[in-house]
Amino acid sequence: MTNIPNAEQNQRLVLVTGPSGAGRSTAIKVLEDVGFETIDNLPLGLVSRLFSGPPLERPLALGLDTRNRDFSASALLDLMHALRAHAPELLYLDCSPAVLQRRYSETRRRHPLAPAESVTVGIEREQELLAPIRASAHVLIDTSDLNVHGLRDTLEHQFAPRGGKFLAVTLTSFSYKRGVPLGADMVQDCRFLQNPYWDPSLRAFDGRDQAVAEFVAKDERFEEFFDRLRGLISFLLPAYRAEGKAHLNIALGCTGGQHRSVFVTEKLAQALAQAGWQVSIRHRELDRREGRSASVQKAAGSKEAKA
C-alpha cells in the first residue's frame, strides 16, 4: 500500500471521477474557478508524490480517469485508504447510459474503453469497472438532466470554500413563461421596463446587442431602478459572505427572457465585477435557443454530408 504522509487537516482534498462523458473535465474547471488547485488525468501511482513536500495552501482536486494505465477500482479504493489522514472526498459524476450514448453520438467520439467496438459496449464496460467506486462515493451528482451551467451551480453550492472568505455570484436571466430558475436565492422582475419585443427592428436581437441596450436604458424608470438594485445587492453581498454563504444565485426575469432581463443581467454583472466580486452569467433562454440552433445546424450538416 502507498505510504502517504499525514495531512494538514484544514486542507480539503477532492477526488473526481465517473464515466467518460459525465462531466469530469467540467467539474475540474469549476473547482479551479472556486479556488481549488486542480490536476486532471493524474495516474494513481503519482498521487503520493503530491504529498511528499510541504502542505499546499489551497484545497486540492484530482481528476482520475479510467483511461489511465494504472486505473482500477481496487487501486482507487486503496488510494483512498492511504489518503485517509487527508479525509479525501470522492466526487462521482454519474450519468444514464442513454444520455452518455447520445453525448457520444453528438460529438462522434469513440469510447475510450471500446475504441474498436460500439459506444454501448464501452459504456457498459466502464460502468461495470466503476461500480465499486460509485458505491463508495461521498458526493454523487447525476448529470443526465444537467447542462454545463446546471452542473456549475451544483458544484459551486457543494464545494465553494466556506468561512466567509469567498462568495461566487451567478446572475441568471430567464423567461417567466418557463418559470423561475430552480435554486434562485433572489428574484427580480424586469417586466415593468419598456419591451423591445414590440419594436419590429429589435425583435430578433437580444439584450447583449447595443440597439436593445440603448432602447431599454432610455426607459425613464431604468436609471433609478438600476441604481437601487445595484445598491441593494452591493449592500447584501458582504453580509451574505460574512454569514459564510459560498454561492448566491440572483435571477432576473422578463416575459421572454431575451431582451430586458438579459440587458439588466449583463449590466449588473459588469458593475459587480468592477466592484471586485466574482460573477458568472447564465442566460437561460438564450442558452437553450442557441443550443437548439447548434443541434439543428449539426443535423443539417449531417444530411448534406450524406447527400
pLDDT in tens, 129-139: 899 998 988 88
- Tell me the C-alpha distance between 249 and 160, whole Å: 13
Are 7 and 56 in contact, with CB atoms under 8 Å apart?
no
What the chain holds in terms of domains, given with CATH numbers, is: 13-159 (3.40.50.300), 168-290 (no CATH)
170 strand-pairing partners: 249, 280
Q: Which of 80, 50, 59, 82 is nearest to 11 (CA)?
A: 59
Q: CB-based contacts of 235: which residues, under 8 Å, 6+ apart?
A: none
pLDDT at residue 10, rounded to an integer: 52
pLDDT at residue 219, rounded to an integer: 96
- Tell me the C-alpha distance between 178 and 190, whole Å: 15
pLDDT at residue 37, rounded to an integer: 87
- Tell me the C-alpha distance between 65 and 75, whole Å: 12
Are 169 and 250 in contact, with CB atoms under 8 Å apart?
yes
pLDDT in tens, 47-95: 878 877 777 777 889 998 888 778 888 988 888 888 888 888 899 999 9
pLDDT at residue 250, rounded to an integer: 95
pLDDT at residue 164, rounded to an integer: 42
Calculate what percentage of the chain has a pLDDT beyond 70: 88
Q: Which three cell numbers stand for residue 103?
A: 453525448
Q: State CA 238 to chain mean position distance.
A: 23
Q: Which three cell numbers stand for residue 163?
A: 468561512
Q: Which three cell numbers stand for residue 258?
A: 431575451
Query: Over 151-208, what HEC string results?
Result: HHHHHHHHHCCCCCCCCEEEEEEEEHHHCCCCCCCEEEECCCCCCHHHCCCCCCCCCC
pLDDT at residue 291, rounded to an integer: 55
Residues of the chain short of pLDDT 50, as ranges, are: 1-3, 5-9, 163-164, 292-307
